[in-house]
Amino acid sequence: MNFIYLKHLSCIPQTLKIRFWYLLQSNAFKLFSVSSVSSNEAGERQDFYNNGFTLIEILIAISIFAIVISTIFGSYGIVFSSAEDIEKGNKAYEMAQNCMARMTIDLSSIYATPYDFAKEDAEALRYNFLGETYDIYSSTFSRLQFFSFAHCSFRGRKESGIAHIVYYVNETANGDMVIRRSDNIFPYPEFEESDSDPILCKNVKSLTLQYFDKEGIENDYWDLGDNIFEKSLPKSVLITLETGTEETSYFFETRVALPLFGKQDKS
Protein backbone atom coordinates (compact mmCIF):
# COMPACT_ATOMS: atom_id res chain seq x y z
CA MET A 1 0.00 0.00 0.00
CA ASN A 2 2.84 2.33 0.80
CA PHE A 3 4.47 1.44 -2.51
CA ILE A 4 1.34 2.42 -4.39
CA TYR A 5 1.29 5.79 -2.65
CA LEU A 6 4.90 6.53 -3.52
CA LYS A 7 4.50 5.45 -7.17
CA HIS A 8 1.68 7.85 -7.75
CA LEU A 9 3.64 10.62 -6.07
CA SER A 10 6.63 10.43 -8.48
CA CYS A 11 6.20 14.04 -9.40
CA ILE A 12 6.77 15.12 -5.80
CA PRO A 13 10.32 16.17 -4.86
CA GLN A 14 12.46 13.61 -3.13
CA THR A 15 12.65 15.42 0.18
CA LEU A 16 8.88 15.53 0.45
CA LYS A 17 8.65 11.85 -0.42
CA ILE A 18 10.94 10.96 2.45
CA ARG A 19 8.96 13.05 4.92
CA PHE A 20 5.67 11.56 3.73
CA TRP A 21 7.11 8.08 4.09
CA TYR A 22 8.08 8.65 7.71
CA LEU A 23 4.68 10.15 8.47
CA LEU A 24 2.91 7.20 6.91
CA GLN A 25 5.00 4.70 8.82
CA SER A 26 4.34 6.39 12.15
CA ASN A 27 0.55 6.53 11.54
CA ALA A 28 0.49 2.90 10.52
CA PHE A 29 2.25 1.94 13.77
CA LYS A 30 -0.23 3.91 15.77
CA LEU A 31 -3.13 2.26 14.01
CA PHE A 32 -1.61 -1.14 14.58
CA SER A 33 -0.97 -0.44 18.24
CA VAL A 34 -4.51 0.82 18.85
CA SER A 35 -5.96 -2.16 17.06
CA SER A 36 -3.84 -4.57 19.09
CA VAL A 37 -4.74 -2.99 22.45
CA SER A 38 -8.40 -2.89 21.60
CA SER A 39 -8.50 -6.56 20.78
CA ASN A 40 -6.62 -7.47 23.98
CA GLU A 41 -9.03 -5.48 26.12
CA ALA A 42 -11.97 -7.09 24.39
CA GLY A 43 -10.54 -10.52 25.16
CA GLU A 44 -9.99 -9.69 28.80
CA ARG A 45 -13.51 -8.36 29.13
CA GLN A 46 -14.89 -11.45 27.50
CA ASP A 47 -12.89 -13.67 29.89
CA PHE A 48 -14.11 -11.61 32.88
CA TYR A 49 -17.76 -12.04 32.00
CA ASN A 50 -17.32 -15.73 31.25
CA ASN A 51 -15.54 -16.53 34.60
CA GLY A 52 -18.52 -16.31 37.14
CA PHE A 53 -19.10 -18.02 40.55
CA THR A 54 -20.14 -21.64 40.63
CA LEU A 55 -23.19 -22.81 42.62
CA ILE A 56 -20.98 -24.43 45.26
CA GLU A 57 -19.07 -21.20 45.78
CA ILE A 58 -22.32 -19.27 46.22
CA LEU A 59 -23.65 -21.83 48.74
CA ILE A 60 -20.40 -21.69 50.74
CA ALA A 61 -20.53 -17.88 50.80
CA ILE A 62 -24.15 -17.91 51.98
CA SER A 63 -23.31 -20.45 54.71
CA ILE A 64 -20.41 -18.34 55.99
CA PHE A 65 -22.61 -15.24 55.97
CA ALA A 66 -25.35 -17.06 57.90
CA ILE A 67 -22.86 -18.28 60.53
CA VAL A 68 -21.46 -14.78 61.01
CA ILE A 69 -24.92 -13.19 61.30
CA SER A 70 -26.18 -15.83 63.74
CA THR A 71 -23.08 -15.36 65.91
CA ILE A 72 -23.54 -11.59 65.98
CA PHE A 73 -27.24 -11.76 66.85
CA GLY A 74 -26.56 -14.48 69.43
CA SER A 75 -24.02 -12.23 71.14
CA TYR A 76 -26.49 -9.33 71.15
CA GLY A 77 -29.17 -11.61 72.59
CA ILE A 78 -26.90 -12.70 75.43
CA VAL A 79 -26.01 -9.07 76.19
CA PHE A 80 -29.65 -7.95 76.21
CA SER A 81 -30.83 -10.89 78.34
CA SER A 82 -27.99 -10.29 80.81
CA ALA A 83 -28.90 -6.61 81.02
CA GLU A 84 -32.54 -7.51 81.64
CA ASP A 85 -31.59 -9.97 84.39
CA ILE A 86 -29.38 -7.36 86.02
CA GLU A 87 -32.18 -4.80 85.91
CA LYS A 88 -34.65 -7.23 87.49
CA GLY A 89 -32.10 -8.13 90.14
CA ASN A 90 -31.51 -4.48 90.93
CA LYS A 91 -35.23 -3.83 91.30
CA ALA A 92 -35.68 -6.86 93.57
CA TYR A 93 -32.67 -5.84 95.64
CA GLU A 94 -33.90 -2.26 95.98
CA MET A 95 -37.41 -3.35 96.99
CA ALA A 96 -36.12 -5.78 99.61
CA GLN A 97 -33.73 -3.17 100.99
CA ASN A 98 -36.57 -0.65 101.30
CA CYS A 99 -38.71 -3.26 103.07
CA MET A 100 -35.96 -4.02 105.59
CA ALA A 101 -35.37 -0.31 106.15
CA ARG A 102 -39.07 0.29 106.79
CA MET A 103 -39.25 -2.55 109.31
CA THR A 104 -36.15 -1.25 111.05
CA ILE A 105 -37.64 2.24 111.39
CA ASP A 106 -40.93 0.89 112.74
CA LEU A 107 -39.28 -1.37 115.31
CA SER A 108 -36.84 1.32 116.38
CA SER A 109 -39.84 3.55 117.10
CA ILE A 110 -41.75 0.88 119.05
CA TYR A 111 -44.28 2.05 121.63
CA ALA A 112 -45.02 0.12 124.81
CA THR A 113 -46.69 1.17 128.03
CA PRO A 114 -47.39 -0.52 131.38
CA TYR A 115 -50.85 -1.99 131.62
CA ASP A 116 -52.81 -4.51 133.61
CA PHE A 117 -52.30 -7.93 131.98
CA ALA A 118 -55.31 -9.24 133.88
CA LYS A 119 -57.52 -7.15 131.67
CA GLU A 120 -58.85 -8.90 128.64
CA ASP A 121 -60.40 -5.90 126.99
CA ALA A 122 -59.27 -3.91 123.96
CA GLU A 123 -57.18 -1.63 126.16
CA ALA A 124 -54.89 -4.52 127.12
CA LEU A 125 -54.65 -5.97 123.63
CA ARG A 126 -54.06 -2.55 122.15
CA TYR A 127 -50.49 -2.35 123.41
CA ASN A 128 -49.48 -5.91 122.81
CA PHE A 129 -46.32 -7.10 121.04
CA LEU A 130 -47.16 -10.34 119.26
CA GLY A 131 -44.82 -12.31 117.01
CA GLU A 132 -46.06 -15.61 115.62
CA THR A 133 -45.79 -17.96 112.65
CA TYR A 134 -48.38 -19.34 110.26
CA ASP A 135 -48.45 -21.55 107.18
CA ILE A 136 -49.33 -20.73 103.58
CA TYR A 137 -49.47 -24.00 101.67
CA SER A 138 -46.21 -25.77 102.58
CA SER A 139 -44.28 -22.63 103.58
CA THR A 140 -44.07 -21.07 107.03
CA PHE A 141 -43.93 -17.29 107.44
CA SER A 142 -43.62 -14.95 110.40
CA ARG A 143 -46.16 -12.30 111.32
CA LEU A 144 -45.54 -9.46 113.76
CA GLN A 145 -47.88 -6.87 115.24
CA PHE A 146 -46.91 -4.09 117.60
CA PHE A 147 -47.42 -0.39 118.25
CA SER A 148 -45.09 2.30 116.99
CA PHE A 149 -44.68 6.05 116.67
CA ALA A 150 -43.72 5.53 112.99
CA HIS A 151 -47.17 6.00 111.49
CA CYS A 152 -47.40 6.39 107.70
CA SER A 153 -50.57 7.91 106.28
CA PHE A 154 -51.85 6.60 102.96
CA ARG A 155 -55.26 8.28 103.19
CA GLY A 156 -54.35 11.52 101.46
CA ARG A 157 -54.38 13.62 104.62
CA LYS A 158 -51.97 14.48 107.38
CA GLU A 159 -52.34 12.19 110.38
CA SER A 160 -50.35 11.54 113.51
CA GLY A 161 -50.61 9.20 116.43
CA ILE A 162 -49.52 5.85 117.74
CA ALA A 163 -49.97 3.26 115.00
CA HIS A 164 -50.88 -0.39 115.29
CA ILE A 165 -48.59 -2.00 112.69
CA VAL A 166 -48.77 -5.54 111.36
CA TYR A 167 -46.28 -7.18 109.02
CA TYR A 168 -47.60 -10.26 107.25
CA VAL A 169 -47.25 -12.30 104.06
CA ASN A 170 -50.17 -13.17 101.81
CA GLU A 171 -50.79 -14.37 98.28
CA THR A 172 -51.91 -12.07 95.47
CA ALA A 173 -54.37 -12.96 92.73
CA ASN A 174 -51.54 -14.04 90.40
CA GLY A 175 -50.03 -16.36 93.01
CA ASP A 176 -47.18 -14.08 94.06
CA MET A 177 -46.20 -13.98 97.75
CA VAL A 178 -45.85 -10.42 99.05
CA ILE A 179 -45.14 -8.67 102.34
CA ARG A 180 -47.85 -6.22 103.36
CA ARG A 181 -47.90 -3.58 106.09
CA SER A 182 -51.09 -2.77 107.97
CA ASP A 183 -51.02 0.63 109.69
CA ASN A 184 -53.94 2.06 111.70
CA ILE A 185 -54.20 4.75 114.35
CA PHE A 186 -56.87 5.15 117.01
CA PRO A 187 -59.56 3.87 117.00
CA TYR A 188 -57.77 0.60 116.33
CA PRO A 189 -59.83 -1.87 114.29
CA GLU A 190 -59.39 -5.60 114.73
CA PHE A 191 -56.66 -6.77 112.38
CA GLU A 192 -57.71 -8.45 109.14
CA GLU A 193 -55.65 -9.11 106.05
CA SER A 194 -56.59 -6.73 103.26
CA ASP A 195 -55.51 -6.29 99.65
CA SER A 196 -55.61 -2.54 100.26
CA ASP A 197 -52.62 -2.74 102.61
CA PRO A 198 -49.45 -1.46 100.91
CA ILE A 199 -47.05 -4.03 99.46
CA LEU A 200 -43.51 -3.63 100.73
CA CYS A 201 -41.87 -6.53 98.91
CA LYS A 202 -42.79 -8.92 96.09
CA ASN A 203 -41.59 -12.40 95.11
CA VAL A 204 -41.16 -13.39 98.75
CA LYS A 205 -39.84 -16.90 99.35
CA SER A 206 -39.49 -16.69 103.11
CA LEU A 207 -39.83 -14.21 105.96
CA THR A 208 -38.48 -15.24 109.34
CA LEU A 209 -38.51 -13.16 112.52
CA GLN A 210 -36.55 -14.37 115.53
CA TYR A 211 -36.78 -12.74 118.95
CA PHE A 212 -33.89 -12.65 121.45
CA ASP A 213 -34.36 -12.14 125.16
CA LYS A 214 -31.91 -10.43 127.50
CA GLU A 215 -29.96 -13.68 127.85
CA GLY A 216 -29.55 -13.96 124.08
CA ILE A 217 -31.90 -16.96 123.81
CA GLU A 218 -33.63 -17.21 120.44
CA ASN A 219 -37.42 -17.60 120.09
CA ASP A 220 -39.68 -17.95 117.06
CA TYR A 221 -42.69 -16.74 119.06
CA TRP A 222 -43.14 -13.78 121.39
CA ASP A 223 -46.19 -12.47 123.22
CA LEU A 224 -45.83 -9.54 125.59
CA GLY A 225 -48.91 -10.73 127.47
CA ASP A 226 -47.56 -14.24 128.01
CA ASN A 227 -46.10 -14.90 131.46
CA ILE A 228 -43.36 -17.11 130.05
CA PHE A 229 -41.75 -13.99 128.63
CA GLU A 230 -41.95 -12.24 132.01
CA LYS A 231 -44.06 -9.42 130.55
CA SER A 232 -41.01 -8.20 128.68
CA LEU A 233 -40.24 -7.04 125.17
CA PRO A 234 -37.45 -8.87 123.36
CA LYS A 235 -34.04 -7.29 123.40
CA SER A 236 -33.68 -7.54 119.63
CA VAL A 237 -35.42 -8.90 116.54
CA LEU A 238 -33.57 -10.70 113.75
CA ILE A 239 -35.24 -10.30 110.34
CA THR A 240 -34.34 -12.74 107.57
CA LEU A 241 -35.85 -12.26 104.12
CA GLU A 242 -35.51 -14.32 100.94
CA THR A 243 -36.86 -13.08 97.62
CA GLY A 244 -36.42 -14.03 93.97
CA THR A 245 -37.64 -16.46 91.33
CA GLU A 246 -37.37 -20.21 90.91
CA GLU A 247 -33.92 -19.79 89.33
CA THR A 248 -32.43 -17.10 91.60
CA SER A 249 -32.66 -16.08 95.25
CA TYR A 250 -31.67 -12.94 97.14
CA PHE A 251 -31.04 -13.07 100.88
CA PHE A 252 -31.28 -10.17 103.31
CA GLU A 253 -30.78 -10.08 107.05
CA THR A 254 -30.75 -7.38 109.68
CA ARG A 255 -31.00 -7.26 113.44
CA VAL A 256 -32.90 -4.49 115.20
CA ALA A 257 -32.29 -3.65 118.86
CA LEU A 258 -35.49 -2.55 120.59
CA PRO A 259 -35.10 0.61 122.66
CA LEU A 260 -37.68 -0.46 125.28
CA PHE A 261 -36.79 -4.07 125.98
CA GLY A 262 -37.36 -5.51 129.42
CA LYS A 263 -40.35 -5.62 131.78
CA GLN A 264 -43.36 -3.51 130.95
CA ASP A 265 -45.03 -3.80 134.39
CA LYS A 266 -46.77 -0.95 136.11
CA SER A 267 -44.36 1.17 138.05
Q: What was the pLDDT predicted at 109?
A: 93
**Would you state the pLDDT for residue 28?**
46
| Distance in angstroms (rounded) separating the CA atoms of residues 46 and 138 | 83
| CA 39 – CA 206 distance, rounded (Å) | 89
Q: 116 in the Ramachandran plot: left (φ > 0), alpha (ψ -120 to 50) or beta?
A: beta
Identify which has the larger pLDDT, 18 or 232. 232
What is residue 229's DSSP assignment? G
Spell out the domain ranges in the chain: 2-48, 99-263
Distance CA 234, CA 218 (A): 10
- The tens digit of pLDDT for each residue in 88-143 reads 778 888 999 999 999 999 999 998 765 444 444 445 554 578 999 999 999 999 99
**Per-residue pLDDT tens for 179-208?**
999 999 888 888 899 999 999 999 999 999
Q: Which H helix or E strand runs over 98?
A: helix 55-108
157-174 residue pLDDT tens: 678 888 999 999 999 999
Cis peptide leading into 187, omega within 30 of 0? yes
What percentage of residues in the chain have a pLDDT greater than 90?
39
Gap between the Cα atoms of 110 and 130, Å rounded: 12
